[in-house]
Amino acid sequence: MTRRFWLRRGTVLAATGVLLFTAAPGASTAPEGRAGPAWVGSWTTGVTVASAGTGQTGLTDTTLRQVVHLSVGGDELRLRLSNVFGTAPLAIGAATVAVQHAEGGSRVDEDTLRQVRFGGERTTTIPIGAEWVSDPIELSVPDGANLSVSLHLPGPTGPLTQHRSAFATNWTTPGDETAAEGTGFAALGTSWFLLDGVDVRAVSAGSAVFFGDSITDGAITTVDGNHRYPDRVATRMLTRPERAEFGVLNTGIGGARLLTDQGPAGQSAMARFDRDVSGQAGVRAVVLLLGINDIGGTRGAVAAEDLITVHRQFIARAKTLGLRVYGATLLPFEGAGYYTPEGEADRQALNKFIRTSGEYDGVIDFDRATADPAQPTRIRAAYDSGDHLHPNDAGMDAMAAVVPVDRLVR
């Protein structure tokens, strides 16, 4: 039996000449040897309770087809499906995987279409509060592939565990069309439902988790463009002449905070740590970029010391697991709708801790990477999506450029 489940858990590159990555004193830089093929996370997403629309109403006798962008490839893969926030057992009538067709959209490359099984069976039922792992699927997928995952949901499902802001189009059609080529599907929206991970069997250095909020999630980047900054990190890693590949896992959730649960915007940082960090296959390192929503959402009323306390808890938990943990400085946000001078003071205090405490294994300075040199409390105009908070595609590239892909995972 290859199933497993976890019960529900409670409820940014700027000035020329500036060193944008620093290793903490005593941090190891020696590479470690890699063994043979093993399971490693290639794609994941942070999941939440359902929001309005399809997430709340659920689906009945529908095939849901979703496309996810893998980081590393492999000769086998397995799916992770989530009913963590469901309110009833979730029946899966059938499931398939395939590489997305070169034309994109809902079409698949039929030569790569594979049936997914669970304990040898085509169907399965996922208990409330659980994550379910499929049997291994024999399918060779290349690095950076777009994988189409189709689920037939007999339903009625009730509310669906989801990732609200995927910046990727999903597709539906009535009945069981999991084996269909895909021309008859209709676009549903840009959320992911039920699917929260794809692992591959490969020789790799492990995986790195990018943990954060909407900036990590890729807010306001090009839909279906895979231009989230962790995606761009994966591209950099895969295009190096000599590389030790590692899985790149994005657990950013739009609206997420360090201190408080936000419903469809995610649980607090430590409430989702086990699922989104330690529960990932092959995890070796984690990058923490979180806190701006605590600051902005309270208009600066939150105490910076409280944010630092959660960072310290996060560091301690990660290091207990033997993970390398990297602190990422908060990006400038003057001009954003929830900016205040008090909030800016909190941001500066948290960034000072991240840069100078020596408690991380390394610091990734996204603040200096994205700041306007003439007005460092504002994001550089060329990187601004227009809301003075979220970087555009170019800003995501600038962030990815300062992530130390050669030494992130050791």
Residue 30: its pLDDT value, please? 30
Residue 12: its pLDDT value, please? 31
| Residue ranges with strand state E in 175-315 | 186-189, 192-193, 195-202, 207-212, 247-252, 283-289
Question: Which of 165, 197, 229 represents a domain boundary (last residue)?
Answer: 197
CB 94 within 8 A of CB 218: no
Same domain, yes or no: 259 and 375: yes
Same domain, yes or no: 227 and 368: yes
Same domain, yes or no: 251 and 309: yes
- Concatenating the DSSP letter of every residue in 338-370 gives T--HHHHHHHHHHHHHHHHS--SSEEE-HHHHH
Residue 290: its pLDDT value, please? 98
Domain contains 16 = no
Same domain, yes or no: 157 and 244: no
Which residue in this structure is represented by tokens 């008090």? 342
* 23 CB-near residues (< 8 Å, 6+ apart): 29, 361, 362, 407
Sign of the torsion formed by the C-alpha atoms of 115, 121, 127 and 131? negative
* Measured distance CA(302)–CA(297) in Å, rounded: 9
CATH number for the domain spanning 211: value is 3.40.50.1110
Q: What residues does 170 pair with on adjacent strands?
A: 66, 189
Residue 34: its pLDDT value, please? 53
- The residue segments making up the domain with residue 253 are 21-34+204-401
Same domain, yes or no: 344 and 277: yes
Same domain, yes or no: 184 and 313: no
Q: How many domains does the chain have?
A: 2
Domain contains 4 = no
* Measured distance CA(391)–CA(396) in Å, rounded: 6
Same domain, yes or no: 168 and 208: no
Domain contains 384 = yes
Question: Which of 180, 197, 214 represents a domain boundary (last residue)?
Answer: 197
Domain contains 45 = no
In this structure, the dihedral spanned by the alpha carbons of residues 17, 23, 25 and 28, taken in order and rounded to 10 degrees, is -150
* Measured distance CA(116)–CA(190) in Å, rounded: 24
Same domain, yes or no: 377 and 245: yes
pLDDT tens-digit profile, the chain (410 residues): 333 323 233 333 333 223 344 443 333 333 344 568 999 999 999 999 999 899 999 999 999 999 999 999 999 999 999 999 999 999 999 999 999 999 999 999 999 999 999 999 999 999 999 999 999 999 999 999 999 999 999 999 999 999 999 999 999 999 999 999 998 999 999 999 999 999 999 999 999 999 999 999 999 999 999 999 999 999 999 998 766 799 999 999 999 999 999 999 999 999 999 999 999 999 999 999 999 999 999 999 999 999 999 999 999 999 999 999 999 999 999 999 999 999 999 999 999 999 999 999 999 999 999 999 999 999 999 999 999 999 999 999 999 999 999 999 97
Same domain, yes or no: 237 and 314: yes
Domain contains 287 = yes
Domain contains 236 = yes
Same domain, yes or no: 372 and 234: yes
Regarding beta strands 94-99 and 21-23, do their DSSP bridges make them parallel or antiparallel, or are they unpaired? unpaired
Domain contains 310 = yes
Q: What residues does 364 pair with on adjacent strands?
A: 21, 328
Same domain, yes or no: 323 and 368: yes
Instruction: Quickly count: other Cβ atoms within 10 Å of residue 76's Cβ.
Output: 17
* Measured distance CA(279)–CA(209) in Å, rounded: 10
Question: Which of 197, 223, 242 represents a domain boundary (last residue)?
Answer: 197
Domain contains 242 = yes
H or E element, residue 378: strand 375-379
Same domain, yes or no: 102 and 164: yes
DSSP state of 278: I
